[in-house]
Structure 1
Amino acid sequence: MGVESKITTKGQTTIPIEVREYLKVGAGDRIGYEFVDGKVVLVPKNRSALDFAGVLFEPDREPVSVEAMNEAIGESVSDRYERSHDRD
């Protein structure tokens, strides 16, 4: 069985300690709510960049330069801009 909490008349709730420990969040931290396949997922928002070190690592992938990343981001932004103006 999972954990649960009660919602007050003001729409507030206490996040159970088990959930806070699992998410590694505490007083003053921020959390986000994402809708995924008919469920709401709590997402910690106070993560350090170091928490994500290696998250995209794939052993056989060639390294990518910062310049190549910036170029790919620029192309994506440009494509989105063009698509948003095609709707007008």
Structure 2
Amino acid sequence: MGFNITITSKGQMTIPKDLRDQLNVKAGDKCYAWVRNGELIMVPRNKPLSELAGILGKPPVDAPLSQEGIDEAVMDAAVERYENAIGKSERE
């Protein structure tokens, strides 16, 4: 089922509640988006760290990070891995 979404004069849009519930996103969550074949593709960046365990390999010994920094690095790596999986030509 699709939803109609209106873009505001500031270029913003509101994600309808049913979609937010399906994506398990809330205010302040980050998403990654790109255009593929004229369609907007959006991926929430709210996966629990436990689902991404091991994606980065062994952590460097000399680079201590805060939990927020670790979470951000993991999410960035997940997005990069997803982009590599779908292939660059589909993202353009």
TM-score, normalised via structure 1 length = 0.51
Q: Higher RCO, 1 or 2 (CA under 8 Å, sep at least 6)?
A: 2
Poorly superposed stretches of 4+, deviation over 3 Å: none
- 2:20 aligns with 20
Does the aligned pair in 2 maintain the 1:34–1:40 contact within 8 Å?
A: yes
- 2:6 aligns with 6
* Unmatched 5+ stretches in structure 2: 59-92
Distance across 2 between alignment mates of 1:51 and 1:19: 22
Distance across 1 between alignment mates of 2:51 and 2:20: 16
Number of equivalenced pairs:
56
* Structure index of larger Rg: 1
Give how far 1:49 is off.
Answer: 2.6
Tell me the alpha carbon deviations over residues 10-45 of structure 1, each in whole angstroms, 9 at most, x when there is no partner. Answer: 111111111111111001101111223332111001
Tell me the alpha carbon deviations over residues 33-70 of structure 1, each in whole angstroms, 9 at most, x when there is no partner. Answer: 122333211100122232357xxxxxxxxxxxx68xxx
- 1:86 aligns with none
- Which amino acid letter does the alignment assign opposite residue 9 of structure 1? S
Distance across 2 between alignment mates of 1:3 and 1:18: 9
Residues 1:45 and 2:36 are matched in the alignment: no
Distance across 2 between alignment mates of 1:38 and 1:27: 27
Does the aligned pair in 2 maintain the 1:31–1:45 contact within 8 Å?
A: yes
- Which amino acid letter does the alignment assign opposite residue 36 of structure 2? V
- Which amino acid letter does the alignment assign opposite residue 42 of structure 2? L
TM-score, normalised via structure 2 length = 0.49
